[in-house]
Structure 1
Amino acid sequence: MERLVRECFRSEGYVFARKAEEIAKERGLSRIARLASNENPRPPSPLAVELGCQALQRVNRYPDEKVRSLLDTLERHYGDYHFVTGVGMDGVIETVIRTLVDPGDRVAISVPTFSFYRLAAVAQGARVEEVRRNADFSVNAETFVRACRGAKLSFLCTPNNPTGTMTPPGELETILEGIDGVLFLDNAYVEFSGVDYLPLLEKYENLIIGRTMSKVYSLAGLRIGYAFVPGWLAPFYTRAATPFTLNTVSSETARGALLDRTHVEETVARVAVWRERFVRECPLPVTSSGANFVMVDVAPHTGDQAVELLAEQGVIVRSCRSFRGLPDHYVRVSIGEDWENELFLSAVRNL
């Protein structure tokens, strides 16, 4: 019966980082520096935990299908925008594709980048066109616009995963004015960048800005994504979405996280300090980053070889081999706890 499986799911899917527990057991290590998944090492805001625990007592009932309390909190936090939610930004991406893309439609993606855009588009039957970035991983707006002509949907990540590079708002204006479809701007790491892309929403009705609660808000385990969308799209997105997309605990925990600005400010300040130290003290070339990670050129090693060598010293980083369009001599290193970061700086010198 295996022959019935669709062709797009027969090849390799999303590539996950190896689990710390697996590596610790294999190598007999008591603790592992977990720097592969761009997680926030800080626990969630106490207010987020409090509201989540309160919501746990109500899970015998279905959640509010409109997640009205979370949407109200998002509006108070950011202003009068239209919002949609999903199970992680992955869920938002998947639903946007399901809403807009018919089998055979073109989808353009700026690469190298987060692999799920392509996986989700191909699963919907789209024809994907990958648009290479410049040698320094910046986006050439004119090249991207030319590739996007005739594409119903396009994806661009800033700060970009895994390179950490940012696309200036002015370049995005050139893109938004030149394309004839919708641009999905992935802002998963934007809180760490100091760049504000929200003013673009006031000028362009073909822009979606995706966000997540997994990074700066320390809620990766709850899978909470949301997006700023144009008003015309919101009702159609709701029809295409899976019923009861977010559960009660997730939506209430997210509300608490949004209400605690101190947690975010402290996290961003700490990441900025360590990001600078990684650039300054790492003996290998580090790409300038606006995210909570950096990308390191480990040549002449491959990414996989560097991962294994660092794992022997108790440090897990992410090989960038699975990122299409990126040469196989890079690793991505998250900013973790202080001891984890120090251990990485010590271990990487041995490469």
Structure 2
Amino acid sequence: MRRSIVRRCYATAGGYVFAKSAEEIAREQGLSRVARLASNENPSPPSEATIAAGLSALKEGNRYPPARQEAVVDALRRVHGDHAFLLGNGMDGVIETVVRTVVEPGDRVVISTPTFSFYGLAAAAQGAEVVEVPREPDFSVDPTKFIEACRGAKLAFLCTPNNPTGDVVPVEAVRKILDGIDCLLFLDNAYIEFSDADYRPLMQEYDHLIEGRTMSKAYSLAGVRFGYAFVPEWLAPHLEQAATPFAVNCVALAAAEAALADQAHIDEVVAHVRQWRERFMTEIPFPVAPSEANFVLIDVAPMTGDEAMERLAEGGVVVRSCRSFPGLEDRYIRVCIGADWENELFLEKVRDLQ
């Protein structure tokens, strides 16, 4: 009887699939340390100024964070210009607020796949009809097919650079999509700092575009959980009404504000990623998809993703099998760019897979 009260989308096994942790691998293999290259993390800790700001805020952790986060919004505007912003507990929190605000049971939500699974999970949790639009064999997006799938939809998700493929949808292709759809487009730019693409000018041209970002990657704040989005002015008050109260904690707010002022840290991180991304592209002895993110997608056929993941784990390298990504054949692994020693160890162990 108790099972019958659980919603159908949660009554069976499923949900977000986490990569096996470095701690699990180390314990299983009897290793003192392992290379953590599965979760697209930044190997560098936050800057000293960011750490100091977070620690200072923690001293007042007995108080709720401010209901209106003017300080961090002002910091965002200093970096990005005069936009309306939605803040959240990571990009996931931003996605949940958007879906909660606009999607009702039975509404059509379109997703370009393979991609980050949380879009579909959040939409299904709201009772949406989720429609997947497969990417082309080279992982590019066909704007015409995407537009056609969006007819009658309420919301669509498009990730660029895309997770797990790493490719970028050209700005003009996004513009074509926006010209052809009536629904809201959520453009996930979680990895945009590692790319040359810039979609921010589109926010001035279209009032049905949301551009989501995170400080988990380039800003080294994955464990702090701070996400934000550029949103249309007309939608901002409705998003605020639907948002979870005090969703962003005081430490995250303070750390994000400080991190936004530290461009030198971002420049160093991006330079590191670009250097190693080029080496990965040329030195990995398997086909590697072109990437503008802080990770690469590797075709390890004839092995499956799980087989390659397990063999690399035996050598102390944790990578992500892409078997769980809808629409992606089971022959890929995703490997993020880590610290120098982690990357060198991976290149050594991936050669042994041949």
TM-score tier after normalising by the smaller chain length = over 0.9
Match of 2:275 in 1: 273
Match of 2:8 in 1: 7
The range that moved more, 94-103 or 44-53, is 44-53
Deviations 1:289-332 (A, max 9, x none): 00000000000000001100000011000000000000000000
The amino acid of 1:233's aligned partner reads: L
Query: Mapping of 1:254-273 within 5 angstroms?
Result: 254-273=256-275
Query: By how many angstroms is 1:3 displaced?
Result: 2.2
Match of 1:161 in 2: 163
Match of 2:93 in 1: 91
TM-score by length of 1: 0.99
Query: Mapping of 1:202-213 within 5 angstroms?
Result: 202-213=204-215
Q: Does 1:235 align with 2:237?
A: yes
CA distance in 1, matches of 2:68, 2:260: 18
Query: Mapping of 1:1-351 within 5 angstroms?
Result: 1-9=2-10, 10-351=12-353
Query: By how many angstroms is 1:218 displaced?
Result: 0.2
Does the Cα contact within 8 Å between 1:141 and 1:174 map onto a contact in 2? yes
CA distance in 2, matches of 1:237, 1:133: 30
CA distance in 2, matches of 1:253, 1:270: 22
Does the Cα contact within 8 Å between 1:85 and 1:246 map onto a contact in 2? yes
Residue identity (%): 62
Does the Cα contact within 8 Å between 1:67 and 1:246 map onto a contact in 2? no
CA distance in 2, matches of 1:234, 1:142: 29
User: Which SS does the other structure have where 1:18 is aligned?
Assistant: coil
Backbone CA RMSD of aligned residues: 0.6
**Where does the alignment leave 5 or more consecutive residues of structure 1 unmatched?**
none
The amino acid of 1:44's aligned partner reads: P
CA distance in 2, matches of 1:340, 1:155: 33
Query: By how many angstroms is 1:71 displaced?
Result: 0.7
Query: By how many angstroms is 1:2 displaced?
Result: 2.1
CA distance in 2, matches of 1:11, 1:101: 24
Query: By how many angstroms is 1:57 displaced?
Result: 1.3
User: Which SS does the other structure have where 1:220 is aligned?
Assistant: coil
Does the Cα contact within 8 Å between 1:295 and 1:332 map onto a contact in 2? yes
CA distance in 2, matches of 1:273, 1:229: 33
User: Which SS does the other structure have where 1:222 is aligned?
Assistant: coil
The amino acid of 1:3's aligned partner reads: S
Does the Cα contact within 8 Å between 1:286 and 1:296 map onto a contact in 2? yes
CA distance in 2, matches of 1:343, 1:176: 43
TM-score by length of 2: 0.98
User: Which SS does the other structure have where 1:217 is aligned?
Assistant: coil
User: Which SS does the other structure have where 2:223 is aligned?
Assistant: helix
